[in-house]
Amino acid sequence: MPPIVSVRDVHKSYPTGEGATLDVLRGTAIDVEEGQVVAIVGASGSGKSTLLHIIGALDRPDSGSVIMDGEDMFAMDDTTLAAFRNSRMGFVFQFHHLLPEFTARENIAIPAMIGGKTLAEAQARADELLEVVRVAHRAEARPSELSGGEQQRVAVARALANHPRIVLADEPSGNLDEENAGMLHELLWQLAREQGQTFVIVTHDGELAARADATWRLHEGKLLPRS
């Protein structure tokens, strides 16, 4: 079975002023298999988030390709790519980025509505996911009324709203205390093992990386398998 995502020879640089550039990714390559939990580690500033944003089509590489389900994402125009991203991918970030004026249920329902679901369908999916992440009792709470752990669980549920092929998580437990981080890690593993959800997780958390099916270290713009 071909990988869900295949990253090939990806390069990315940024201007630093006075005509100079910073080469962040230098021929990066990785395959992600269905149902796999992949951890990406590396020093701060090594380009981990840049790579995740390129895999998630939030940024375009200077060169190279990212093939998802047999489709070259960066051969698409921006409109087609945005629709593809919304239907195939979920995102979880270090800070939850929940919309403060909406309830937990509404925050989870929004991606499904953007994807063309009716309000009733989106709310039904949100209620299902609130049960999965074990915060159904907080469905009507707004983000400011939720604990940090609850906020991040709602953010995970939102990432799952459109039945994504892959979830990309950037330091998902980085803003949580040890207890809530552990609970979030258990949730991610439950989703991977019981529901076959595929994850690519950028993390500094050694415990989280150690439990992954594959751990890669980003060093000098390339991914190296970590033994």
* Domains in the chain, number: 1
Residue 122 near residue 162, CB atoms below 8 Å: no
Half-sphere exposure of 36 (CA within 13 A, CB side): 17
Asked if residue 131 belongs to a domain, the reply is: no
C-alpha 92/C-alpha 155 separation (Å) is: 6
Asked if residue 95 belongs to a domain, the reply is: yes
Predicted TM-score (pTM) above 0.75: yes
Asked if residue 159 belongs to a domain, the reply is: no
Confidence of residue 227 (pLDDT cuts 50, 70, 90): low
Asked if residue 20 belongs to a domain, the reply is: yes
Asked if residue 151 belongs to a domain, the reply is: no
Query: Which residue segment(s) compose the domain that 41 sits in?
Result: 5-99+164-225
For 161, residues 6+ apart whose C-beta sits below 8 A from its C-beta are: 90, 108, 109, 110, 111, 112, 115, 122, 125, 126, 129
Asked if residue 156 belongs to a domain, the reply is: no
Asked if residue 129 belongs to a domain, the reply is: no
- Tell me the CATH number at 33: 3.40.50.300
**pLDDT (tens digit per residue) in 99-137:** 999 999 999 999 888 878 889 999 999 999 998 888 899
